Amino acid sequence: MKREGSGRGTRWFVVIPVQAQPSPLPTTGAVTGIDMGIASFLTTSEGKHVPNPRHLKTSATQLAAAQQDLARKRRGSNRRKKAVSRVAALHGTVRRQRLDHAHKTALSLVRDHDLICHEALQIRNMTKRAKPVSDLENAGQFLPNGQAAKTGLNKAILDAGWGVFLSVLTAKAEKAGRELIAVNPANTSRTCPHCGHCAKENRPSQAVFDCQRCQYVGHADTVGAINVLRAGTALRQTAHAA
């Protein structure tokens, strides 16, 4: 048995361990690279964009109201226990929605592709707080470090559930006999897939890629996914040649 939440908001789930045997899917001959993002949950090298459902953001109004109600309750009271349960239940709903989206998205990729290449994202490092910057001219004071902007990005990354998705994708790919390759994400969205020119100026905005050398234009996330696929394919060829 597994318990989620507490008080009246408690939910119990029956967990039955099953030793699942690998069940390889028929080969498709298709390969893909995926670029994880915020505007779109992910983009494939074929140019398909999977929308970001933003489950936590969608529930933000309800959560804010529930948390405000909780803050007004006296500690130790039955009303406070009920308010705690309501907040926990809302968070539980968001977790289940995020997991359901991860399973459906991963299953679609695994069914349609023999090889899936993705970025080796260090999500824990990406969501760390920015380090404080001391003001050397004023003892005890600190300079702006961009934490306010980073806080919004951190919340968006965690809301997207990249870590949950990659765990689910790994499990499904292994069971289906698909090949999954993680590649270094550095400069994947700044490198031109046409001429190879790499520069931050190639990406003038979040969505636009505009090569400053050969004038190749495309969606920045699609360009990132294409480069992820190329890097993964190169790693695969090197491993097979060894």
Phi first, then psi, for residue 237 (nearest 5°) are -65, -40
Question: Residue 135: how many CB atoms within 10 A of its CB?
Answer: 12
Q: 36-58: per-residue pLDDT in tens?
A: 988 899 999 999 999 998 887 77
Instruction: Decide if pLDDT at 87 tops 80.
Output: yes
pLDDT for residue 31 is more than 90: yes
Of 30, 24, 231, the residue nearest 115 (C-alpha): 30
For 8-21, b/e burial (b = at least 16 CB within 10 A) is: ebeeeeeeeeeeee
pLDDT at 130: 47
Joined tokens for residue 148: 């306010």
Q: In terms of pLDDT, which residue wins out, 12 or 194?
A: 194
Per-residue tokens: 101? 């989206």
The per-residue pLDDT of the chain, averaged, comes to 83
Enumerate the active-site residues. 35, 119, 221
The angle that helices 78-112 and 162-176 make with each other, rounded to 10 degrees, is 40
CA atoms of 96 and 64, how far apart (whole Å): 19
Residue among 157, 165, 151, 48 nearest 97 (CA): 165
